[in-house]
Structure 1
């Protein structure tokens, strides 16, 4: 870490901020910086990224670090500040991104990506030599920036002199200020020039099942070329991803010819091409059209742009935890993003924005994009949080906490990788992996591969594989070994970028080996007889849960250790391979997925023995039992995750019966128990009490009972009853009765109701889940003479619903208001029934008549 020079460089704020709207807030910004924590909100084009960092650096006694969310933005911001400062890049202003660093002894202001800063913070939370940290573009809610905000809030407790700032175009300033413990808030007013907005929807749909349509890209290119000619200015075009950038660039070059320079801008381009796109047009050069992904949306200014053409689409992470898949999907951008993009046209003067979608579509866009922490694979984040001392993020002040299911699954993955222990604390290997400037899975594969692969070139081979999988190369037919051959021979796109990354990773791996603190000293070596299988071993070390075995001879389908099924593409060079190490899998339908619902996009063959070594954390032996008819059958199984390696029948024990029967009941439902009348009646009675009174009376719906089988049903099995038709279900339900409240059960919901005739009638209670169900008593009408008030159950909450029967026990009337029945409908019933049943009493006055279940003659005896 560079140290501050004896005579600290001071930035000329008047020169740097000349003409910038944010300059009018200099006094407020300096006052906020003096408090030690600040939040700055300023619209795009106000110059916050240009002026605030040197302003903070002038007040800080030491190094000031400023994050930008993307590497291209880091370099562009550093280059711009150095130019305004009149100094060389790497002097007072420097930068650091993955694989590149340009700083010196005189550096006072260092631009860097959030990932670089996060690893520095993990290495030493006190950040020695650093006086201030400013997080820019916090509104983007990237995972790393969200974590940094919480970690820096805690770091300030170690160092009260550390200034922490957060900047954004649009954010919930109060929420961010609260994380930083009541930071000072400075709001810079909007300074956009006049902006005209128009709409040019496509006659063809923007998206179909496969993503953005070719017809829409044609329309987008034509619209851009037409608007650029009309405006005669530099233009910035927003599309969702690198593939669309390249396709639109190709279309535009065919439309505008040599009159306009068309440039691509996305994260996969070499730095020189990115810098060319963001550097602005030189005097005498042709007008330019820059086609960019969202990286130019807020964190980057492309000079000279007065026209923006926006497709209104974004590429966002979506997580399918059930299939253990994460991927980028193309969706409508947020309204906030649409405003940010349009505002790029009016940063440096009047501008125009053309939205290549209907105006009505804007209203249907989400207000904001979801925070990345809610949708991303949290494996990396879980390790960083563990190394910070806050496993699962518990206790860390975060704008949005990680979803519990996702962070728990991520921690389980880290345990399988040997990077955290059972309590979620980092292992020594986990601490080492977390600090490497690469993803957690890739870092684990790099270190373990360098240690465990055969031969002197183990570190280089591991680096080659990791460089290929971490840089978005897409192997044809999912065949990663074939891609590696093409990259080595220089036949694949992006070869130069891959070679640079390979050398960087090789150096990291060799340093790990030479350090004599091996990451896998006690682990068995990988045999991997062929180069292709060595690549597979590296993938398996990165993703043991995606070790896969073919489901059948001649099949394209594979079962992954995580339980997902996926198919190799038709014609893949990997067809016929018994074992695979899968890196990428994607949801798919139809023939391509071979009925599995997913297709393999990157994989390598794997030796079976190496599969067991790499997946040792998923290996286990288990005993399973199932009910076949009325007989419990048991087996001893050896599995690698979901992959069954062997299965042997063994004699069933009493302990096998309980889980087997419970499993059958969970699968088939409560009907599997053949519940008798007494158990059914008790369940219905308890359901009504729970409905009316709630806890502690237990819920009796099927889902609740199935979820709690271990409490009420398992004790009835014990070592005695192992047949479904012999289980004492009534006794099991009684296990759920709350005490001492259970003593009141027969008062709340009696099984029978005493009626005026001296008899009792059965009460039929509503089935569990019947929200408006009523307890029903079916009784002869004559047995209720004189009863005026309808009985009510459950402490008077629920009236009984009477089904009044004829002497032949046929229904005459249904009522829950006997007083009204005797006073009205009874007369019609009497008129109709006394001729049909003359031997039974039908008095004119039911109030004074004696209730009876007998005929008139028998009642008179």
Structure 2
């Protein structure tokens, strides 16, 4: 079988003989995934070493390895094998390994030299479907580039993609770029309209029935996930079964959770020659080839990772796909002959051009731990991780004991890293000691990672574990999903095997045992019941949370929440388990404190001294402690300003204008390197600029306006302050001989507005050009006023005003203000701020 990539393979080999990096662009169906690794096996530079190919999806990894093995006439695990989470098919003979998820990262962390340059080492890393921009792929590439630069200059790195900005990536990698033609036929694209108030499943079902009745070949339907696949499969089976008696249809799902044998069935033609309707997630976009497809029905949706602050994890959310994905999906219909694509969204809807990189929109605790384990975060990422998300991730890792104060990895962190799961779950799995407890921790890890197995709303995690225990005894609760429980049970078994836990999980446990384990994963989510309201809880971060009205957890003194919904006032506890206080005091003893504190009382607007017992940010008891400690007062006043906002400070009009002038100059003249005096920046740096001004004070209103001005201006030296007054003066001398004020302000768009000079028209006679400031860079907006101080005209071009507008203003105003001069020739008139002398 000839594939489009075949003609390019000699050039790929030659390029990699001369260069250590390559960007290879090839559309879906070109054959890059299965032909490039095999074509490189006998390359002289490879010298018999291994090739590792990172494949984003498990289905695709198995399929690619199986296809390459069949081409060689071998079984998977001989020359070609694969490794995915909890599953491995490789041997000592394997030279091409297809790996997924964090497998490549683990290989690099465990052996940065990848076996070295000798036999048995890795000679080439291939990153397939890089356009999907999974976090694991971005991290793997960054680590590989570091290895290549410092340890293995002979290592080849090939980045392969179907739809990507190849030029940008080639520049980033300083690599040659090769492009392959695809194999496709024309595809007719149409938008299949939904009926009024029609459900997505109903619209998709009608589209499938239309496709089967109108076009030949198999039908591929793209849906967001397993849940939607199951619903559409149920909606389709009755009509297809009726038609199938005559025409022979079969409906097949395709998603990552399918057993291997069912995945293989979808990737092959139907053995009975029946037409197929394949209901697939975006795994079928580019990673696998489905024979016989002539029609694509595209929902335009996908489940992609997004950081979910409710759970503290990245969850899969249903989102609109990018235009590049829509084009790839449509191309699936044109692999074997001309095809048809029906899109289930309005033609007027516009999609984003490219998919956003996961690193920009997911939680980064796992990435931060990997960087700490690597020993450096000075890696080259295609898109660098957002600093805020990375800082939050490191805060969590310190809380979990994975990092020390200097962001260096601890021995606990090393153990967490080796488990290859989210650091929260890794911390919990490591904390469980004895056999049965570790088996229970495996259950919890599987439960937290899985979709909810209960159909009814309940906030008790214990109910989910009891449903799992019942499933193991052959009973399924009426409100539980059997397939979801089976998946959780299988994942728990995999964890027990991974951790070498021989003990079976308990058949019964007290609910607090779950919470005691879960506290190791969510120490920041430990909550204590409010003294006056049994449905309200204070969290370790000081915020409040509330239970459902029909909560099963009412009355529990301590809880740990695995899932929260953050809202403006109180968060909502979605999933939690009770915790035993004795366990907390023994295990988290360092988080309990009993000390004198000074705090700001919002209602009294004053500092209060108390003897406070705490668990982190949770106040367990507070009693008056007498006089306010002056050493603690400054910090308490800073906290008050942080809570009340900057308007609580004694701002004078002059200081507000000075601050605005500095902010404007920062925009107009960035070369001055002025400090950021915006609200956000000032609040973030209160300890630096304001704290010294509160020394010795115990009241917020004890701070004087002059002291505030001194504190705000303290970061600027005398010369810079003088320069500010020169470039952005508070006043300007007008022809009347008077100094008139300049007003500075910011617009609604957050940008500096043109400074305003409000002045009576008669004071500007003879002035041709609009006054300018900021070394002539900024012209003033002149508000020309009547003798009574009312606005007559606004202009930034005085010359044009005198020439074109002044005659009309003179005609209208001369009779209204006869005691003031209105000369015909304003150019040569004497400017004045007074009325005409009496008798003139």
Which of the five TM-score ranges fits, normalised by the shorter chain? 0.7 to 0.9
SS in 2 for 1:354: strand
**Kept in 1: contact 2:634–2:698 (CA 8 A):** no
In structure 2, do the counterparts of structure 1 residues 55 and 427 end up closer, same or farther at CA, with 3 Å as the change threshold?
same
**Of 270, 277, 281, the match for 1:289:** 277
Partner of 2:143: 151
Cα-to-partner distance string for 1:436-466 (whole Å, 9 max, x where unaligned):
24333222211211x2xxx541222222222
Secondary structure at the aligned position of 1:421 is classed as: coil
Q: CA-to-partner distance for each residue in 1:279-302, whole Å, 9 max, x for gaps?
A: 4322x2533222111112111122
Decide whether the 8 Å contact of 1:277 with 1:290 is kept in 2.
yes
The farther-off stretch of 487-496 and 793-802 is 793-802
Q: Which residue number in structure 2 is paired with residue 658 of structure 1?
A: 634
Deviations 1:816-857 (A, max 9, x none): 979979x988999888777x79xxx99999989998989979
Structure 1 residues 264, 690: CA separation in 2 closer, same or farther (over 3 Å shift)? closer
Match of 2:366 among 358, 380, 383: 380
Tell me which residue corresponds to 2:84: 97
Distance apart, 1:141 and its partner CA: 0.6
Whole-Å separation in 2 of the counterparts to 1:604 and 1:746? 61
- Alpha carbons of 1:727 and 1:446: their partners in 2 closer, same or farther (altered >3 Å)? same
Change (3 A) 1:581 1:269: farther
Pairing 1:429-578 to 2, within 5 Å after superposition: 429-449=412-432, 451=433, 456-475=435-454, 476=456, 477-490=458-471, 491=476, 492-510=482-500, 530-551=509-530, 556=535, 558-562=537-541, 568-569=547-548, 571-578=550-557
Give yes or no for the alignment of 1:603 onto 2:576: yes
- Checking the alignment, whether the CA contact within 8 Å between 2:522 and 2:562 is kept in structure 1 is yes
1:403–1:791 distance in 2 versus 1, CA, 3 Å: closer
Give yes or no for contact 1:122–1:435 (8 Å, CA) kept in 2: no
Partner of 1:166: 159
C-alpha distance in 1 between matches for 2:815 and 2:281? 85
Equivalent residues of 2:607, 2:698 under 8 A apart: no
Q: Distance in 2 between matches of 1:828 and 1:489?
A: 92
Post-superposition CA distance 1:585-618 (Å, at most 9, x none): 45789xxxxx746551x43222234345666686
CA distance in 1, matches of 2:144, 2:282: 27
Q: 1:336 to 1:703 in 2, by over 3 A?
A: closer
C-alpha change, 1:120 and 1:51, in structure 2 (3 Å) is: same
**Selected match of 1:268 from 245, 249, 257:** 257
> Normalised by the size of structure 1, how large is the TM-score?
0.80
- The change in CA–CA distance for 1:813 and 1:728 in structure 2 (over 3 A counts) is same
Note if contact 1:179-1:398 (Cα within 8 Å) is conserved in structure 2.
no
Partner-residue secondary structure (3-state), 2:291: coil
Q: Is the 8 A contact 1:82 1:88 kept in 2?
A: yes
* CA gap 1:617/1:385 in 2 versus in 1, 3 angstroms: farther
User: Residues 317 and 376 of structure 1 are in contact (CA less than 8 Å); yes or no, is this contact kept in structure 2?
Assistant: yes
2:123 and 2:824 mapped to 1: Cα distance? 99
Match of 1:218 in 2: 202
The RMSD of aligned alpha carbons is 4.4
Aligned equivalents of 2:528, 2:220: Cα separation in 1: 48
Query: Cα deviations across residues 622-673 of structure 1 (Å, max 9, x unaligned)?
Result: 8342156564223454544543333343331223433344444455555534
State the alpha-carbon separation in 2 of the partners of residues 279 and 699 from structure 1: 62
CA separation of 1:669/1:560 partners in 2, compared to 1, >3 Å: closer, same or farther?
Answer: closer
Contact 2:216 2:294 in 1 (8 A): no
Cα–Cα, structure 1 residues 21 and 703, in superposed 2: closer, same or farther, change >3 Å?
closer
State the number of aligned residues: 791
The alpha-carbon deviation at position 801 of structure 1 amounts to 6.7
Partner residue, 1:15: none
- Alpha-carbon distance change, 777 to 662 in structure 1, aligned in 2, over 3 angstroms: farther
2:760–2:833 Cα contact (<8 Å) kept:
no
Q: Deviations over 1:195-218 (max 9, x none)?
A: 33333121146xxxxxxx7x2212
Decide which of 324, 327, 331 is 1:336's aligned counterpart. Answer: 324
> Contact 1:540/1:614 (CA < 8 Å) preserved in 2?
no
Structure 1 CA distance for aligned equivalents of residues 658 and 562 of structure 2: 54
Are 1:193 and 2:179 an aligned pair?
Answer: no
Displacement, 1:375? 0.8
Alignment match, 1:643:
618
Q: What does residue 516 of structure 1 align with?
A: none
Q: Provide the rounded CA distance (Å) in 1 between the counterparts of 2:75 and 2:666.
A: 76
| Matched position secondary structure for 2:37 | helix
Indicate the residue corresponding to 1:717 in structure 2.
694
Q: Is the 8 A contact 1:540 1:581 kept in 2?
A: yes
Residue number in structure 1 paired with 2:293: 305
How much has 1:705 moved relative to structure 2?
5.8
C-alpha distance in 1, partners of 2:147/2:299?
41
SS at match of 1:299: coil
CA distance in 1, matches of 2:727, 2:324: 57
Q: Which sections of structure 1, spanning at least 5 residues, go unmatched?
A: 1-17, 206-212, 514-528, 590-594
Determine the C-alpha separation between the residues in 2 that align with 1:345 and 1:493. 32
Partner of 1:625: 599
Kept in 1: contact 2:218–2:277 (CA 8 A): yes
- Residues 784-799 of structure 1 aligned to structure 2 (within 5 Å): none
Residues 353 and 613 (structure 1 numbering): CA distance in 2 closer, same or farther, change over 3 Å?
Answer: farther
The CA distance in 2 between the partners of 1:306 and 1:812, in whole Å, is 71
Distance 1:354 1:803 in 2: 63
2 CA distance for matches of 1:54 and 1:696?
56
C-alpha separation in 1, matches of 2:831 and 2:656: 35
Give the drift of 1:398.
1.4
Supply the distance in 2 between the matched residues of 1:543 and 1:689 (Cα, whole angstroms).
46
Report what 2:409 is aligned to.
Answer: 426
CA distance change for structure 1 residues 180 and 553 in 2, over 3 Å: closer, same or farther? same
Residues 1:178 and 1:719: Cα distance change in structure 2 (over 3 Å): same
Q: 1:772 to 1:575 in 2, by over 3 A?
A: same
Post-superposition shift, 1:247? Answer: 0.7
Q: Counterparts of 2:16 and 2:532 in 1: how far apart (Å)?
A: 68
Separation in structure 1 between the aligned mates of residue 178 and residue 711 of structure 2, nearest angstrom: 64
Q: Is the 8 A contact 1:686 1:697 kept in 2?
A: yes
Q: Indicate whether 1:139 and 2:123 are aligned.
A: no
Q: Is 1:774–2:756 an aligned residue pair?
A: yes
Partners of 1:34 and 1:200 lie apart in 2 by: 49
Provide the secondary structure at the position in 2 that maps to 1:740: helix
CA distance in 2, matches of 1:850, 1:402: 61
Alpha carbons of structure 1 residues 612 and 410: separation in structure 2 relative to 1, 3 Å: farther
CA distance in 1, matches of 2:758, 2:144: 65
- Does the 8 Å CA contact 2:628/2:698 hold for their aligned counterparts? no
Distance 1:423 1:193, change over 3 A: same
Contact 1:416 1:618 in 2 (8 A): no
CA contact (8 A) 1:198 1:355 kept: yes
Cα distance in 2 between the residues matched to 1:610 and 1:499:
28
Scaled by the length of structure 2, the TM-score of the pair is 0.82
